[in-house]
Amino acid sequence: MSETTPRSTSTPTSSSSSTGAAIELEGLTKRYPGNARPAVDNVSMEIKAGETVVFVGPSGCGKSTTLKMINRLIEPTGGRIRIGGEDVTDMDPVKLRRRIGYAIQSSGLFPHMTVAQNIALVPRMTGWPTGRIKARVEEMLDLVGLDPGEFHDRYPRQLSGGQQQRVGVARALAADPPVLLMDEPFGAVDPITRDHLQDELIRLQHELHKTIVFVTHDFDEAIKLGDRIVVLRERSHIAQFDTPEAILTNPADDFVSGFVGAGAALKRLNLTRVRNVEITDYPTVAVDDPLQDIFNKLRSSGTNEILLLDKRRRPYKWLRRGDLMRARGSLARAGTPVSDTVTRDATLRDALEAVLTDNAGRVAVTGRHGEYEGVVDMETLMNSVHELLEADRLEAAQAQAELEVARTDRTHAEQEGDGRADGKGGEVRA
């Protein structure tokens, strides 16, 4: 039988402007014919309105099955599901799904529909008027960082993997559902695109305050995205349900420790955002600036290189003095392309990986549409790492001191016990 009361030391308080709805699972169970043991066994938990809760656990533990029972893509064998206080266990599943957004790994876009038609699907099915649907499509494309004029009439095959996932999220949110279910939605894209999509989701959640239930097998992703994390054992037994900070610093048992893995201090870099550290300005030039002006700005900047921005003010190349000397009137082959950027919602771990990948000693910070906003340098990131390692050292020293006190107290207690036993023995002999 699973732990039906989740362990939680603290939970985020949902915003007063939350548009999400609380979710309550009570004794949720799924049995398949022919199997003696249930796939999901008596799971109970409460998810607060407007928070992001991440299910993480080994393959086959039942996390996706549990998720799909919330919108009844998989019908539960037993238990109750309440959303916003309403029991939806026996509601018409089609009506229920129109009230819940759903995003999956492959984006799930209909290939014969344009981007606009895919996004408009649920609003149209629920009877929205044409004008409202059109406005909503434009709003959702802008919300997920895609230019409506450029992407409105494209088909899924004309999009990159990351763009398809953005459209998938836009479609899931188009009818403004209070709940968004996400089943490993970023699992099929490359690591850089995955980081950017995670940042986009964090930004969207800051704006929308939906209730998000997210499934992943990646504990680092869970730390980055979750207000709280549910670590699941076999058959969705709850091993620990807590904040990322609490799980990193105080895993419930060896099973949870196995998911945390080594380097807990570095994993806590996933808990700090780029917006929480110093973002500094850096000398920039535009791609259409005269070459002599670029050379003069680099010379007067006092730096070894300068950041070249494209016509939309997006980071394009790092230029050094030698690059300009060899440019011979053209920047086409000059400089080193910017291989990665981060947003303000990226984690310090994302920023550190980007700095190490780019070899520039810094990473450019970009806005919602990729426009340049500043840089975070290696020194800032290393200071954060040192602070975390020092905090770990102090915590370890404190724990060691507490163990020594406990050991001393136990030794004294044992000695006193032996003394009393000796005393009693003497009285008998007397």
Using alpha carbons, select from 429, 49, 404, 63 the residue that is nearest to residue 230.
63
Structure tokens at 272: 């700090």
CB 219 within 8 A of CB 263: no
Asked if 141 contacts 148 with a C-beta cutoff of 8 angstroms, the reply is yes
Dist. CA 33–CA 54, nearest whole Å: 29
In whole angstroms, give the CA distance from residue 317 to residue 74.
49
pLDDT band at 265 (very low <50, low <70, confident <90, very high): low
- In this prediction, residue 151 carries a pLDDT of 96
Q: Which two tokens stand for residue 430?
A: 């007397």
Q: What is the pLDDT of residues 173-227, one digit of tens each?
A: 999 999 999 999 998 788 888 888 999 999 999 999 999 999 999 999 999 999 9
| pLDDT tens per residue, range 149-170 | 999 999 999 999 999 999 999 9
If DSSP codes are grouped into helix, strand and coil, which group holds residue 366?
Answer: strand
**3-class secondary structure for 234-248?**
HHHCEEEEECHHHHH
Pull the structure tokens for residue 424.
């009693």
Q: What is the pLDDT of residue 53?
A: 98
Task: Quickly state the pLDDT bin for 13 (edges 50, 70, 90).
Answer: very low
The correct answer on CATH 3.40.640.10 for the domain covering 262-430 is no
- Classify the phi-psi angles of 337: left when phi > 0, otherwise alpha if psi is within -120 to 50, otherwise beta: beta
- How many residues are given for the chain? 430
In the chain, what percentage of residues exceed pLDDT 90? Answer: 57
Pinpoint the residues of the chain covered by CATH 3.10.580.10: 262-430
Structure-block tokens of residue 265: 């201090």
User: What are the pLDDT digits (tens) for 242-259?
Assistant: 999 899 888 999 999 888
- Whether the pTM exceeds 0.85: the reply is no
The CATH class given to the 23-99+177-260 domain equals alpha beta
Per-residue model confidence (pLDDT) at position 78: 96
Tens digit of each residue's pLDDT (9 = 90 or more) over 29-88: 999 999 989 999 999 999 999 999 999 999 999 999 999 999 999 999 999 999 999 999
What does the alpha-carbon distance between residue 375 and residue 342 come to, in Å, rounded to a whole number? 9
CA separation for the pair 149, 146 (Å, rounded): 9
CA pair distance 272, 270, nearest whole angstrom: 6
- Tell me the pLDDT tens digit for each residue of 345-358: 999 889 988 888 87
The one-letter amino acid code at 236 reads S
Strand, helix or coil for residue 6: coil
Helix axes 115-125, 130-143, angle to 10 degrees: 130
- CATH 3.40.50.300 residue spans of the chain: 23-99+177-260
Q: Is the pLDDT of residue 18 over 80?
A: no
